[in-house]
Chains A and B, each alone.
Chain A
Amino acid sequence: DTAVSQTPKYLVTQMGNDKSIKCEQNLGHDTMYWYKQDSKKFLKIMFSYNNKELIINETVPNRFSPKSPDKAHLNLHINSLELGDSAVYFCASSPTKDRGGNQPQHFGDGTRLSIL
């Protein structure tokens, strides 16, 4: 009965490869997010997405692209992986693209990406 699930939990790969991380939520939420947590535990939004609107953090390289086959899924595809991409990536969801900012987000357990 996991609310937000990510796969894989660990991903070790070589520089230059292309990889995807999958995220699924069974909460019926309309909006999903991707966050990056660096080695110092700092979390930063990468994308927010609902079926009408994709918002990209301007600091995110265009090697990163979210893909949503339906509103319960938001996968993260990364091209040409670099050493600096090593981090923990978290998926999250919330009921709406809440302009009031009142809705908490529900997080997955993270995907630990290591680039060799």
Chain B
Amino acid sequence: AQSVTQLDSHVSVSEGTPVLLRCNYSSSYSPSLFWYVQHPNKGLQLLLKYTSAATLVKGINGFEAEFKKSETSFHLTKPSAHMSDAAEYFCVVSDRSYGGSQGNLIFGKGTKLSVKP
């Protein structure tokens, strides 16, 4: 079965400093991995996705993530945080197990990013 573990429930950074949100995955298959962001009282917006092409994936708003198979990790980074980046971030794996649940998304528990001025 697929699963994702977000290692930090809360990360706090100062504006202009780098952001690192950590995610480890577990999958018996070659995974499809995503990062979604949720701003307060909003739905989820796709930041980026990995689907077995380039291991370094660039997303929107300056975010990127690197797929490392040897470490089973898919950490999200940004060189310089902005106040508008404060939100909840979800690491997600697509269920590729056999059966009807294929294609369903399996969410991590989320990391709340706070950005201090």
Contacts and interface: CB of A to CB of B under 8 A. Distances in A.
B43 A90 contact: yes
A99 B36 CA distance: 20
A31 B103 contact: yes
B103 A98 contact: yes
B43 to A, nearest CB: 4
Contact of B109 (A40, A98, A101, A102): A40
A100 B96 CA distance: 7
A104 B46 CA distance: 7
Interface stretch (B63-71, B78-86, B87-95): B87-95
B109 A103 contact: no
B30 to A, nearest CB: 10
Interface residues of A, number: 29
A48 B107 contact: no
Interface residues of B, number: 29
Nearest to A4: B43
A21 B42 CA distance: 16
Contacts of A40: 109
Contacts of A51: none
A43 interface: yes
Contacts of B88: 41
Interface string B44-81: 11100101000000000000000000000000000000
Interface in A45-76: 45, 48, 53, 55
B28 interface: no
Contacts of B24: none
Interface of B: 31-32, 34, 36, 38, 41-46, 49, 51, 88, 90, 94-96, 100-107, 109-110, 112
Interface of A: 4, 31, 33, 40-45, 48, 53, 55, 90, 92, 94, 97-110
8 contacts: A4-B43, A33-B105, A45-B106, A55-B104, A101-B51, A101-B95, A107-B43, A110-B43
